[in-house]
Amino acid sequence: MSRDEHKKRLTGPYRNIQGAIWLIGLAIIAWQNWWWPGILVLVAISLIFEAVLMQLAPHAVEEDRPLAPQPAASTLASPAAPVQEHRAELLPLTCPKCGGPLRGHEVKWTGPQSADCPYCGANLPMNPISSS
């Protein structure tokens, strides 16, 4: 297979049918103790099923695309991006909408001082900063 060719794979229920063919075939082979020629017959049946599907149902097969190459890491150190601090102390103890308990590591942070409830998705009002 060349670099430009992509492997084709079965999708959806057709992949499940392929798996069922293999499971049933292996069960029959084990039951009949017909391992050596039986496995070759099972491979042939599997390949014939896949070839027939490619002809009759082209939507049953999709190309397996390779992952995009990762860019090379830069040898020069880039300045670190500023880290956004999540102010967990500003969170209320419970969600005002659903009453669920809130913890800083469980909420969905939408900004440095903005979060959504993990239970109902409501935007949480932040407690004012108290200066002591």
Whether 130 shows a pLDDT value over 80: the answer reads no
pTM for the model: 0.39
Q: Say if residue 54 is in the same domain as residue 21.
A: yes
User: Is residue 69 in a domain?
Assistant: no
CA 23 to chain CA mean position, Å? 25
pLDDT digits (tens, 9 = 90+) for 112-123: 778 888 888 888
User: Is residue 71 in a domain?
Assistant: no
Q: What angle, 0 to 180 degrees and rounded to 10, lies between the N-to-C axes of helices 35-56 and 12-32?
A: 160
Q: Say if residue 95 is in the same domain as residue 58.
A: no
CA distance 28 to 70: 45
pLDDT digits (tens, 9 = 90+) for 57-80: 777 666 655 555 555 555 455 555
CA distance 28 to 95: 58
Range of the domain at 100: 86-127
How many domains are contained in the chain?
2
User: Is residue 17 in a domain?
Assistant: yes
User: Is residue 79 in a domain?
Assistant: no
